A and B are shown apart, each in its own frame.
Chain A
Amino acid sequence: MDLMMIADLAAATVRISTPLLFAALGGLLSEKAGTFAVGIEGMMLAGAFTGAISAFVFGNVALGFALAALGGAATGSLLAFATARCRADQMVTGLAVNVLVLGLSSFLLRGLFGGRAPVIRLTPPGTWPLPWLSEIPVMGPVLFRQSAIVYLAFLLVVPLTLFLTKTRAGLTLRAVGENPEAAFAAGYDPIRIRMIAIVAGGALAGLGGAVLALQEVGSFTDGMTNGRGFIALAAIMVGRWTPVGAIAGCLIFGFVSALELRAQSWGLPVSSYVMQMMPYCLALALLAGVSRSARLPAAIGVPFIRH
């Protein structure tokens, strides 16, 4: 393995991690406020769909990203209404919403274009080489010649961490996830806050889906997220419910997926299916390793009932 291969692997890792990271940060918001984020798979897919369709129809990638966030948020609001308002089971509702989005996107893709799914080819957004950093030999060009949205994903961690640890709104959000009764007694409305957290998380996950469709793949196909939302969910847990931890988690899973793609060209004596299993097996193994010591938001999964 020479230097170029490592650089290539690093670039692929960053590229694959980006959509995961958006989804994981979105899911983190939702989980911190006390709602399991099983629905991020569906929110991602909704974002991928609205993002790709609007970029395809309007020919504008920026608009695609904006509408992708909207699509994710819309999915989130359905989930928020069902889980927070109607106290529907969070896990199973998330699952139901995932399938709903899968069906809806597949149906609309055909229904809106006269019965046949259009072939969507998108030009990925241009790269922004960072001054100086991109001049670093070998690693510079691969790591610091990315599109703006990639930097955004990784930079987002800073404001999100500050929000969750230093601002009143962020602390209230976490209080709702830990002890909604206490937050309620202090004058906050846990149901409303949980709903906002899910919808905001949905917007982020939608962006993640758009990154996948607009940048990584350059097209939309039915069910294209293919479990990435669940991997993001695992990344949140592996990262112990912190934004920085989520980066680590996403990079790990991104790296394994990158390995999976490269392993074929390196001619490793492992079948491609076994390689495809790797991210899921690794997720399970990592979760098995950290779960005992991880502390979930105390009131996660428990619906708030106003007495």
Chain B
Amino acid sequence: MTILSNIDTVNNEPPPRKVTFMKAASVLRRLLAGTATRATLAVALALLVTAVLILISGKNPLLAYAALLKGAFGSIDRIAFGFNKSTPYILAGLGVALCFRANVINIGAEGQIAVGGIGATAVALSGLALPGLLLMPLALLAGVVCGAAWSGLAAFVSLKRGVHEVLCTLLLNFVGVLLVSEMLHGKLGEPGAGFPQSPLLPRAIWLPKLVAGTDLHIGIVLAVIATVACHILFWRTTFGFRLRIMGASRDAARYVGISSIRQTMRVMLTAGGLAGLAGGVEVLGVHYRLIEGFSAGFGFNAVGVALLASLNPLAVLPAGLFIGFLEAGALAMQREVGVPSSLVFVIQGLTMVFVLCALGLRGERSKV
């Protein structure tokens, strides 16, 4: 596909001119070139369109956005909530960014998060006679392994049978989410609970709080560490180098002896592991139990975060925080102003379309 091949072409030289282009267009194009500018512009445009929608529904968009801002940053608790919301998006978004960079369109984060959550819960509830400090990382590790297994399954079917990875990951999302329901109505379910959920996990393995007295758990620290690790992995290791070559051209990769099958498998396992970790963090840090539908929408947000970051691992961190706080704020906006929080999907969808269009249009220039 095209999103990936022309993202980070270094453009020190001035863009070649074509007589037919108007000056304004060329200025606009140069503006679109930078990741930050592109992302800001896309978000601004999306917010503008959304403001019109709020206006149509008979509410004041300025008031709505003010409520959104206040809801996101209004108090320590709100900020803690925003960080917690961002954490799984950053973790899963990193994996998606790496995959997209290698031209592997993995949109299966949702299922991988779901299955990762199952793995973490299963270990947490296994009754292993271990101290909490040992069981907690073990549970997270189980999340990683299960998430990676789920993405590995998709990669296996895709590579072995030639089914496009988009369909494999998409279809397995549905299966993974249903698997959570199945487990909650079976082995992992809490008997007698009115809601499909697992029993409460033992307090000893809850993720510790980062700031006492708030809900902010250490997940965000894991997300920062993962971001730096992925940055190094992508820019400073042979694996990352191979991914970059593969993303630029499968043919080029083959000529220099890089097996795209092996790299695809590896990057999918990495992404699945990160998504599975996100699932474990949700379970151990936010809900303290497995609940039905806990991963809903996460997979799409991970893709949105990766795109907003222009598939640059380091930029995933701010992009994830943006989406996380946007959602946190939108929930408050719905309470305060009565504007439905589903508007967030509109903002995210539009932002993504704009970013994709900008990337697509930019691809032309690098080919001219």
Residues of chain A having any CB pair with chain B under 8 Å: 36, 38, 78, 82-83, 86-93, 95-104, 106-108, 110-112, 114-115, 222, 227, 230, 233-234, 237, 271, 273-274, 276-277, 280-281, 283-284, 287-289, 291-292, 301-303, 305
Q: What's the least CB distance linking B238 to chain A, in Å?
A: 27
The reply to whether the CB of B261 lies closer than 8 angstroms to some CB of chain A is: no
Known: A91-B105, A107-B343. A86 touches B1 (CB 8 A): no
Cβ A91 vs Cβ B1 within 8 A? yes
- In whole angstroms, what is the CA distance A266 to B196 when docked? 24
Q: What's the least CB distance linking B271 to chain A, in Å?
A: 15
The reply to whether the CB of B340 lies closer than 8 angstroms to some CB of chain A is: yes
Cβ A89 vs Cβ B360 within 8 A? yes
Please tell me which one of the listed residues A103, A277, A287 contacts residue B345 in the complex, with CB atoms under 8 A apart: A103
Q: What's the least CB distance linking A274 to chain B, in Å?
A: 6
Cβ A82 vs Cβ B182 within 8 A? no
Q: What's the least CB distance linking A203 to chain B, in Å?
A: 20
Known: A87-B364, A89-B359. A103 touches B348 (CB 8 A): yes
- In whole angstroms, what is the CA distance A98 to B166 when docked? 14
Choose, from B70-78, B141-149, B155-163, the stretch at the interface.
Answer: B155-163
- In whole angstroms, what is the CA distance A38 to B53 when docked? 25
Interface residues on B, range: 35 or more
- In whole angstroms, what is the CA distance A106 to B160 when docked? 39
Known: A93-B356, A273-B185, A292-B161. A107 touches B340 (CB 8 A): yes
The reply to whether the CB of B45 lies closer than 8 angstroms to some CB of chain A is: no
The reply to whether the CB of B283 lies closer than 8 angstroms to some CB of chain A is: no
Cβ B342 vs Cβ A103 within 8 A? yes
Report chain A residues within 8 Å CB of B347: 103
Known: A89-B3, A283-B171. A78 touches B353 (CB 8 A): yes
- In whole angstroms, what is the CA distance A86 to B352 when docked? 13
Cβ B343 vs Cβ A87 within 8 A? no
Report chain B residues within 8 Å CB of A292: 161-162
Known: A103-B346, A273-B185. A88 touches B353 (CB 8 A): yes
Cβ B182 vs Cβ A274 within 8 A? yes
Interface centre among A90, A92, A233, A281 (most CB of B within 10 A): A92
> 10 additional contacts, CB 8 Å, given A106-B340, A115-B338?
A92-B100, A92-B107, A95-B352, A99-B300, A100-B348, A106-B342, A284-B163, A291-B161, A301-B1, A303-B360
Cβ A273 vs Cβ B57 within 8 A? no
Report chain B residues within 8 Å CB of A233: 167
- In whole angstroms, what is the CA distance A230 to B174 when docked? 10
Q: What's the least CB distance linking B354 to chain A, in Å?
A: 9
Cβ B353 vs Cβ A288 within 8 A? no
The reply to whether the CB of B36 lies closer than 8 angstroms to some CB of chain A is: no
- In whole angstroms, what is the CA distance A287 to B168 when docked? 9
**Is chain A's binding surface mostly helix, strand, loop or mixed?**
helix
Cβ B3 vs Cβ A99 within 8 A? no
Return the chain A residue nearest B170 by Cβ: A230
The reply to whether the CB of B181 lies closer than 8 angstroms to some CB of chain A is: yes
Q: Scoring B residues 148 to 192 as 1 if CB is less than 8 Å from chain A, else 0, what string do you get?
A: 000000000100111110111011101100110110011000000
Cβ A280 vs Cβ B345 within 8 A? no
Cβ B356 vs Cβ A237 within 8 A? no
Please tell me which one of the listed residues A92, A98, A287, A289 contacts residue B167 in the complex, with CB atoms under 8 A apart: A287
- In whole angstroms, what is the CA distance A110 to B342 when docked? 10
- 10 shortest A-B CB distances, which residue pairs? A103-B345, A100-B349, A111-B57, A87-B360, A88-B356, A96-B352, A106-B342, A86-B357, A288-B161, A273-B182
- In whole angstroms, what is the CA distance A101 to B161 when docked? 32
Cβ A103 vs Cβ B360 within 8 A? no
Report chain A residues within 8 Å CB of B350: 100
The reply to whether the CB of B2 lies closer than 8 angstroms to some CB of chain A is: yes
Report chain A residues within 8 Å CB of B246: none
Report chain B residues within 8 Å CB of A280: 171-172, 174-175, 178
Cβ A97 vs Cβ B343 within 8 A? no
Q: What's the least CB distance linking B28 to chain A, in Å?
A: 13
Cβ B361 vs Cβ A87 within 8 A? yes
The reply to whether the CB of B137 lies closer than 8 angstroms to some CB of chain A is: no
The reply to whether the CB of B291 lies closer than 8 angstroms to some CB of chain A is: no
The reply to whether the CB of B56 lies closer than 8 angstroms to some CB of chain A is: yes
Known: A87-B364, A280-B171. A287 touches B163 (CB 8 A): yes
Report chain B residues within 8 Å CB of A289: 161
Q: What's the least CB distance linking A292 to chain B, in Å?
A: 5
Known: A87-B364, A96-B353. A271 touches B345 (CB 8 A): no
Please tell me which one of the listed residues A103, A273, A291 contacts residue B343 in the complex, with CB atoms under 8 A apart: A103
Known: A82-B357, A111-B53. A99 touches B345 (CB 8 A): yes
Cβ A104 vs Cβ B356 within 8 A? no
The reply to whether the CB of B125 lies closer than 8 angstroms to some CB of chain A is: no
Known: A104-B346, A292-B162. A303 touches B107 (CB 8 A): no
- In whole angstroms, what is the CA distance A222 to B297 when docked? 13
Report chain A residues within 8 Å CB of B54: 111
Q: What's the least CB distance linking B180 to chain A, in Å?
A: 9
Report chain A residues within 8 Å CB of B123: none
- In whole angstroms, what is the CA distance A291 to B171 when docked? 15
Cβ B343 vs Cβ A99 within 8 A? no
Cβ A271 vs Cβ B182 within 8 A? yes
Q: List 24 A-B pairs, Cβ < 8 Å.
A: A87-B2, A87-B361, A88-B353, A88-B359, A89-B3, A89-B359, A93-B356, A95-B107, A99-B300, A100-B350, A108-B53, A115-B340, A230-B167, A273-B182, A280-B172, A280-B178, A281-B171, A284-B163, A284-B172, A287-B163, A291-B162, A291-B164, A292-B162, A303-B2
